[in-house]
């Protein structure tokens, strides 16, 4: 996906590649969420590897620093949420569009091909309204 952050077109895939380099991250997804000032801002969702002992705040600080170093400050990457699992289809594709709709407060439909419906509830629980 391509998101528009303050007039800069950025790839969420490149941010995901940076996040995946962290030794504590098992899998991740970056989505563009609505921002009043910048248009969109990137938000990262990460699943930790089992047995990982790092605080959410320390992990977030590490990931923000990594994105800033490898992509640049223009990415405006500041939000990281640790979740137990990402919503996926049975074929393993991450439901980024559904995640984005949930976070932006839009109406969404849970696809019939979802692997674990509980993962949608986990994403919805991270939204602060």
State the pTM of this model.
Answer: 0.93
C-beta pairs of 104-111 under 8 Å, 24+ apart in sequence? 104/33, 104/34, 105/129
Query: Quick one: tokens of 96?
Result: 């980024």
Give the model's pLDDT for residue 127: 84
With CA atoms as reference, report the closest residue to 10 among 28, 31, 25.
Answer: 31
Confidence label for 129 from pLDDT (cuts 50, 70 and 90)? low
CATH superfamily of 2-125: ANL, C-terminal domain (3.30.300.30)
Query: Quick one: tokens of 45?
Result: 């969702």
- pLDDT tens per residue across span 58-109: 999 999 999 999 999 999 999 999 999 999 999 999 999 999 999 999 999 9
Q: Whole-angstrom Cα distance, residue 14 to residue 59?
A: 18
């Amino acid at each position: 996906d391509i998101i528009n952050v303050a007039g800069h077109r950025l790839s969420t895939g490149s941010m995901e590649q940076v996040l995946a380099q962290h030794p504590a991250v098992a899998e991740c997804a970056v989505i563009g969420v609505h921002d009043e000032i910048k248009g969109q801002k990137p938000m990262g969702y990460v699943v930790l590897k089992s047995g990982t002992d790092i605080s959410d705040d320390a992990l977030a600080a590490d990931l923000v620093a990594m994105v800033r170093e490898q992509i640049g400050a223009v990415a405006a990457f500041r939000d990281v949420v640790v979740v137990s699992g990402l919503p996926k289809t049975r074929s393993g594709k991450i439901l980024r569009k559904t995640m984005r709709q949930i976070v932006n407060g839009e109406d969404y439909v849970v696809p019939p091909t979802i692997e674990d419906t509980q993962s949608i509830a986990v994403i919805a629980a991270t939204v602060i309204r």
